[in-house]
């Protein structure tokens, strides 16, 4: 398959002034350079759905910003759809869609429909094909009833559905998503993930997303690039990563009396607090519902929370594993 994105030794360093203590030192700050991306190499083929994951400050968003033409790198090369993003930004913009989870490309006070119409002018789209694409997307994303509602009155999940629709209206072959599910509830996250996966699959679209949420990666992407401190730690298929690192859940039981005590394969007790028992479950060995059923049978359970392990832990495991081998 042909490469849609080719990245060679791409790096980005930020220089900033760090204030030192004392009155006079404030006038001569120390200049510090941080390597946000430290020479990464990868290729992404047409139709691949790839996640870049990593803890805060790992260089995920910086990489995405360089590949979408926002930022210029400090060094290295990149080709996106045959263009150099930072030199051919405007030409590239017609071919890519970009969604930032914490930024909006919509006009908050306007109904979504008017924002979409403005985007037609921005991307020089003909009216008829644009209307057809808008109709398909709004139907698939269940936006028909929201089109005449001002964006600022929408829930975060509804707004994000509109943002993703907006990024697809000009029919881009490549979609960049920066934390597309950040701040969303479980149902909204599920809707976004289903849509991205199915739309990309049906249209042969290439997707590159960054996320903190391991479920985004499992449910949307077929390949994962793990970055830490600006470097690629692991680059492998999601299935492979899932088998090794993504099959864990953290279950917290709140109880009035004694904590929960279970003896099941793959279930380990973490540091627990008074009336709260935190268990780590390897779901390949014991399913979540089995753990909950056993705990309920034990009696005294008042509340249960199921979470994915924090991304920092997943990265630490991957990092430890790759350095041990």
Partner 1 sequence: MMRAFRLYAAQSSAAIRTSFSDRGNFAIQVGGMIVNDIFFLTLWVLFFAGFRSIGGWTLSDMALLFGLTMSVVGISGVFFGGYRDMAATLLRGELDALLTQPKGLIPRLLARESIATAWGDLAGAVFVLGVFAKLEWTDLPALLLAIAAGTTVYVSASISFASLAFWAAGARTFARDLTDFMLLFSSYPGSIYQGAVKTIAFTILPAGFVVLAPMGMVRNPGAQTLALVLFGAVVYGAIAVGLFHLGVARYRRGASPSM
CB of 89 to partner 1, least distance (A): 7
Tell me which DSSP letter residue 83 carries: B
Transcribe 201-265 into DSSP letters: HHHT-EEEEEES-HHHHHHH-SEEEEEETTEEEEEEEHHHHIIIII-EEEEEEEESSSPP----T
Please give the residues from 188 up to 217 whose contact with partner 1 meets the rule CB under 8 A.
Answer: none
Nearer to partner 1, 124 or 202 (CB): 124
Of 6, 79, 84, 89, which one interacts with partner 1 (CB under 8 A)?
89
In whole angstroms, give the CA distance from residue 320 to residue 325: 9
Q: Is residue 116 at the binding interface for partner 1, with CB under 8 A as the rule?
A: no
Count each helix (H run) and each strand (E run) in the chain, helices first: 10, 13
Stretch that binds partner 1, among 112-120, 131-139, 279-287, 310-318 (CB under 8 A): 112-120
Give the residue, chosen from 3, 122, 250, 292, that forms a contact with partner 1 under the rule CB under 8 A: 122
Each residue 24-43 as x (binds partner 1 by CB under 8 A) or -, in order, gives --------------------
Binding of residue 117 to partner 1 (CB under 8 A): yes
Least gap, CB of 279 to partner 1 (angstroms): 40
Question: Binding segment for partner 1 among 8-16, 18-26, 46-54, 311-319 (CB under 8 A)?
Answer: 8-16
Q: Is 109 in the site for partner 1 (CB under 8 A)?
A: yes
Using the rule CB under 8 A, which residue among 55, 69, 157, 259 binds partner 1? 69
- For residue 179, give Cα distances in angstroms to 5, 146, 184, 190: 20, 23, 10, 14
Give me the half-sphere count of Cα atoms (radius 13 Å) on the Cβ side of residue 322.
16
Q: Cβ neighbours of residue 323 under 8 Å, at least 6 residues apart?
A: none
- The contact mask relative to partner 1 for 163-182 (x = CB under 8 A, - = no) is -------------x------
Among 1, 2, 15, 21, interactor with partner 1 by CB under 8 A: 15
Do residues 176 and 208 lie in contact, with contact meaning Cβ atoms separated by under 8 Å? yes
In the bound state with partner 1, the residue whose beta carbon lies nearer, of 87 and 270, is 87
For the window 127-166, what string marks contact with partner 1 as x by the rule CB under 8 A?
Answer: -----------------------x----------------
Q: What angle do CA 78, 81, 82 make, to 5 degrees?
A: 70
**How many of the chain's residues bind partner 1 (CB under 8 A)?**
34
Instruction: Pick the piece of the chain touching partner 1 (CB under 8 A) from 82-90, 188-196, 227-235, 296-304.
Output: 82-90
Say if CB 158 and CB 127 are below 8 A apart: no
DSSP reduced 3-state for 29: coil
> Using CB under 8 A, which of 5, 10, 12, 133 touches partner 1?
12
How many Cβ atoms are within 10 Å of 204's Cβ, its own excluded? 9
**Given candidates 8, 9, 14, 296, which one binds partner 1 under the rule CB under 8 A?**
14
Burial class (CB in 10 A: 0-12, 13-18, 19+), 299: exposed
């Amino acid at each position: 398959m042909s490469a849609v994105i080719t990245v060679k030794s791409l790096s980005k360093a930020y220089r900033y002034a760090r204030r030192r203590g004392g009155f006079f030192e404030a006038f001569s700050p120390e200049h510090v350079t941080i390597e946000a991306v430290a020479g990464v190499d990868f290729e992404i083929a047409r139709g691949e759905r790839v996640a870049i994951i990593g803890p805060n400050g790992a260089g995920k968003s910086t990489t995405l910003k360089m590949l979408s033409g926002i930022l210029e790198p400090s060094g290295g090369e990149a080709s996106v759809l045959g263009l150099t993003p930072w030199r051919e930004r405007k030409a590239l913009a017609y071919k890519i869609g970009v969604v930032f989870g914490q930024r909006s490309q919509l006009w908050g006070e306007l109904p979504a429909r008017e924002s979409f119409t403005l985007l037609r002018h921005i991307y020089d789209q003909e009216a008829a094909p644009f209307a057809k694409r808008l109709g398909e997307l709004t139907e698939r994303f269940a936006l028909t009833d929201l089109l005449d509602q001002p964006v600022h009155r929408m829930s975060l999940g509804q707004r994000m559905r509109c943002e993703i629709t907006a990024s697809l209206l000009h029919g881009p072959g490549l979609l960049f998503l920066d934390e597309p599910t950040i701040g969303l509830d479980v149902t909204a996250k599920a809707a976004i993930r289903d849509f991205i996966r199915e739309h990309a699959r049906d249209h042969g679209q290439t997707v590159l997303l960054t996320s903190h949420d391991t479920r985004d990666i499992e449910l949307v992407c077929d390949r994962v690039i793990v970055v830490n401190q600006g470097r690629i730690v692991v680059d492998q298929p999601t299935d492979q990563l899932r088998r090794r690192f993504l099959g864990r859940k953290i279950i917290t039981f709140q109880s009035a009396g004694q904590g929960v005590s279970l003896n099941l394969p793959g279930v380990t007790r973490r540091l627990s607090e008074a009336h709260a028992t935190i268990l780590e479950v390897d779901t390949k060995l014991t399913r979540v519902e089995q753990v909950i059923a056993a705990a309920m049978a034990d009696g005294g359970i008042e509340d249960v929370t199921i979470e994915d392990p924090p991304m920092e832990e997943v990265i630490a495991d991957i990092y430890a594993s790759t350095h041990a081998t």
